[in-house]
Chains A and B, each alone.
Chain A
Amino acid sequence: MYDRLFAGILLLLSGLMVWTALQLEVPFQYEPLGPKAFPVMLGSLMSMAAIWLFIKPDSNSWHPTKEIVKKLVAGLVLLVIYAALFERAGFIIATFVVGSVFSWLFGETPKRAGIYAVVMSVVSYFLMASLLQLNVPSGTWWAGLF
């Protein structure tokens, strides 16, 4: 079932890619093949594979429970929040918030998860920014304050 769904999406995408590739406007070209041929070949191969997969899908072995789906969505939301906060709120705060929730999701008590996340974010900020000289954001929200 999921295989069929996936194969359908693949077929759609590969068709789209072939069409896009054929629309490419090439102002000048020195060699016989050009930039269109390779994507068109791959797209056709992909669509054939997708059709085959659609005709002969595997039986479905993945049956996530509601509980698991909830957890996965929570993880996804957390990651997106992390990405959104990372630059704006800065590394320390973003890592503290997201790290503590992740730690809690994996069974830590809220208090210990919080303490762990504080230690982790502060220690790694100074490790990464000073010792390893990496580009770690300090937060655009606070840029005016300090």
Chain B
Amino acid sequence: MDVLSHLATGFSVALLPLNIFLVLMGCFIGTLIGSLPGIGPINGVAILLPLAYALGLPPESALILLAGVYYGAEYGGRISSILLNVPGDAGAIMTTLDGYPLSRKGEGGRALALSAVSSFAGSIGALILMVFTAPMLSQLAIKFGPSEYVWLMVFAFTCLATMVGSRPIKTLVGVVIGLLLATVGVDSGTGVLRFTMGIPNFFDGVDFLVVVIGMFAISEVFVLLESWALNDLKITPIGKSFVSMADMMHVKWVVLRSTLMGFLIGVLPGTGASIASAVAYGIEKRFAVGDKEHKEHFGEGDIRGLAAPEAANNASAVGAMVPMLTLGIPGSGTTAILLGALMMFNITPGPLLFEQRPDIVWGLIASMFVGNIALLVMNLPMIGIFVRLLSIRQSYLVPVIVMLTFIGIYSIHGDSFDLYFMILLGVIGFLLRKLHFSLAPVILGLVLGEVMEENLRRALSISGGDWSILFNGPITYGLAAATVLAIFVPLMVGSLKKRKALANMADMED
């Protein structure tokens, strides 16, 4: 079996002492970040990225750490959803609907345990799907030429525009802002300086880290400043209840369906955990209505309504890594940052990654198996620690966030210019969020901008300037058709009501 030998390679990387330590660290920090209201995975990864870079970790170790934060946060998000009725991150919004009623009934322990098991099942299920589909996808992607890549990105941005955020036009604007930011600096083809305004710091481009930290972490500080009020959030007690075998049997099909759904939505470029969990919840609700044996009471503490979004959001976090690793197209906002992280290490994710650096790809995949087992342990017997950490006050938290962002950014170049630029981007990011532009598209545009331009220019130099090269071969037709589908299907399916619900989510990123 090919897969088994690949996994063996992976585990030989993942089980190095340093990497075991990092995956445990990542999962712990991730769970913590996920559980603290307001700070989601994207912020956690953004804040830790410059530190991981400055520490001089090898690329696979840095990726293992940051990915641990990402999927750890998908576990952690549910804790405050269930106990406080405040979602810890975007993927956990749907978890409040049935999780909080359960904890109000004194079954908080049962809800936490069941959702931990669902999360675990979702992650592991999606990981198994990833192990088999990712190599296949990378085989297909080897056939991609420049025109196919251009189409792939157009498809990714279309998916993003029609499915994420409050209005397609606003998402489009976000993407274009990101793409334009990517053009700043010296042009690799001709050596011409573009849009640098004579500032030497921009000659080698706008620093990815500064944009990410400014847009996400600094704007988050403003959001926290705005929303903060002296509110004593009451944590409902966990109680003695625990998950039973009967509960798990009751939701097994729910978890299986939601895992599949979450994985597929995760793989779609740009759509992440918040959409996956919303769709899974909606589907299960419809299934439950038809179920004669068990009357549905979704919204009042139905365990099916708790298991579905949790399995789906974890599965989507895993799924989002598949296109990132195989195609170099991130499946969600957070994976866009992971992709940027890889690029900073001079590693270009894409189909060749599987052949040239199997240690990175399979090491990451193997570390996710290890991490998920660790997370299950952290989230079942050790859940009490995180519950206690939930009551960390923002007056202690915010100074730490601000400090970490400044240390991280300063340590890249040792130049105060980056700090000022980061603050400016933070203000812009905050204003964009207030006007209901989501920020994930900006990051996706920034990460993909250079690749897109390069491929477009390469395609046209092959054809000598003839644009018809964008339509040659079955793959380009397929991707073009998929793009058209991505424009029209959501328009037909998505009722106005759903858009409104998603618009409310646009304020939180995943």
Contact = CB atoms under 8 A, between A and B. Distances in A.
B is a partner of A: yes
A105 B225 contact: yes
Contact of B166 (A30, A58, A117): A58
A120 B460 contact: no
Contact of A35 (B190, B228, B436): B190
Contact of B395 (A26, A50, A107): A107
Contacts, number: 183
Contacts of A28: 190
A30 B189 contact: yes
Interface in A97-116: 98-100, 102-108, 113, 116
Interface stretch (B167-175, B309-317, B335-343): B167-175
B232 to A, nearest CB: 11
A134 B419 contact: no
A26 B190 contact: yes
Interface string B395-428: 1101110110011001100101001101100110
Nearest to B457: A33
Interface in B168-189: 169-170, 172-173, 176-177, 179-180, 183, 187, 189
Contacts of A43: 180
A75 B222 contact: yes
Contacts of B189: 29-31, 34-35
B368 to A, nearest CB: 25
B226 interface: yes
B207 interface: no
Interface of B: 51, 54-55, 166-167, 169-170, 172-173, 176-177, 179-180, 183, 187, 189-190, 192, 194-195, 218, 221-222, 224-226, 228, 230, 393-396, 398-400, 402-403, 406-407, 410-411, 414, 416, 419-420, 422-423, 426-427, 430-431, 434-436, 453, 456-458, 460-461, 464-465
29 contacts: A17-B195, A21-B194, A24-B194, A29-B189, A31-B189, A31-B458, A33-B456, A34-B457, A35-B190, A38-B183, A42-B179, A45-B176, A46-B180, A49-B173, A52-B169, A53-B170, A62-B434, A75-B225, A79-B423, A82-B402, A83-B423, A95-B399, A105-B225, A108-B393, A116-B395, A120-B399, A120-B400, A134-B411, A135-B414
Given A38-B183, A53-B170, A107-B228, 11 more contacts: A31-B458, A33-B457, A39-B183, A39-B195, A53-B169, A79-B218, A82-B402, A103-B396, A124-B403, A132-B55, A137-B414
